[in-house]
Amino acid sequence: MQGYLVTFFTHQSRRHGGKPITDWMVDLAKAMKLKGATLMLGSEGFGHAGRLHSYHFFELADQPVEICIAVTEEECERLFERLEQEDLALFYVKTPVELGTVGKRKAERDSTPT
């Protein structure tokens, strides 16, 4: 199946809808019944304004974060339509990918007669 890997770039101190934007995005992915979202914490990076964001022992809030979501084309359209309704700005990278699952899931394996 063809789709996209959409990666949003932000930092931990950003908030939206009264909660950290990372939590808000994961909740949005769940509410939209997307197959998953992964958060990856970075140690250092800089944004469009050239300001350095980094992980420090005393200041975890400025740590860079990537939010990765693999979606079908239809899911991608729905996701971006939903994000357009919000009062926020997020930088993203949208990469065409092949989506799929390899192997059998444990539940499927357990239900198959041998």
Predicted local distance difference test score (pLDDT) of residue 69:
97
Predicted local distance difference test score (pLDDT) of residue 64:
84
Q: What is the DSSP string of the chain?
A: -EEEEEEEEEETT-EETTEEHHHHHHHHHHHTT-S--EEEE-SEEE-TT--EEE-BTTBGGG-EEEEEEEEEHHHHHHHHHHHHTSS---EEEEEEEE----S--HHHHHHS--
Global pTM? 0.76
Domain count, the chain: 1
Q: Which domain holds residue 88?
A: 2-111
Q: What is the CATH number of the domain that holds 103?
A: 3.30.70.120
Which of 22-26, 69-73, 106-110 comes out lowest in average pLDDT? 106-110
